[in-house]
Amino acid sequence: MRQTCLITLLALVTSFASVNGFILPSSSPFTSTRLYAELPDMAKMKASEMRKELESYGISTKSLLEKSEFVEALKKARAEGKTPVNGTTDASSSASSSTKAESSSSSSSTETPPESSSESSETRDKRYKEALDKAKKMKVGDLKKELEGRGISTKSFFEKPEFVKAYAEAVADNKKGKGGPGPRPEEPRDPAFKDVVMQKMSKGAMMGERVIDIMVR
């Protein structure tokens, strides 16, 4: 009841002042109280709504965490007769949105190379798996021929799994030889091995006994 009477009285004073050409100062208690009365009740407001109103006054809310802090700050702002700063909030929010959009665009373009390298890795793994399955069904001789055709030495391979793995890796890495395998180089002769020639002697020689003559070159 008392608040209603106060609001009515303030309205009459303001109306009288405007009719008679009086201008009330911005710091006048009448103006502040009138604005305070027209604003929503803080008890029913959410913290986000209080933050929005404070920011419209150009007041930073970064240091405010609890709702009670928002209430005190808003109460002080209203008591001081703060008014919304036109364009400040919209400009800041627009700049923030623009910055976020640019950041998102740059981050997406930066993340493109890892995706391409990942796709390349998946393609190699796929080729390796397919070649591995194929090699398991091949003969060792065929695997050896394929590997030598790709310029891969097979001298150190003894078991089939070694040939299979080497073939799969060669296919996955796209290793291709310069045509078919050429003639194998002649291995150096080991001096420990010598040619042996066997000759049979006639029956009448050497007192009628059969003798085998062995000559070593």
Q: Is residue 185 part of a domain?
A: no
Inter-CA distances, 139 with 59, 80, 155, 200, Å: 81, 93, 17, 46
Question: Number of folded domains in the chain?
Answer: 3
The answer, yes or no, to whether residue 45 has pLDDT greater than 60, is: yes
Structural domain boundaries, residue 22: 1-38
pLDDT band per the 50, 70, 90 thresholds, residue 189? low
pLDDT digits (tens, 9 = 90+) for 18-37: 444 444 444 444 444 445 55
Q: Are residues 25 and 63 in the same domain?
A: no
Given a contact cutoff of 8 angstroms between Cβ atoms, the answer to whether 185 and 153 are in contact is no
Residues 124 and 153 in one domain: yes
108 domain-assigned: no
Do residues 30 and 64 share a domain? no
197: in domain: no
Query: In one letter, which amino acid is 207?
Result: M
Residue 127 lies in a domain: yes
Q: State if pTM tops 0.85.
A: no
Cα dist from 70 to 46, 65, 106, whole Å: 9, 8, 36
- 97 in any annotated domain: no
- Domain assignment present for residue 107? The answer is no
Is 177 strand, coil or helix?
A: coil
Q: How far apart are CA 217 and CA 210, in angstroms?
A: 23
Give the N- to C-terminal CA distance of the chain in Å, as an integer. 137
Q: Which element (helix H / strand E) includes 37?
A: helix 29-38
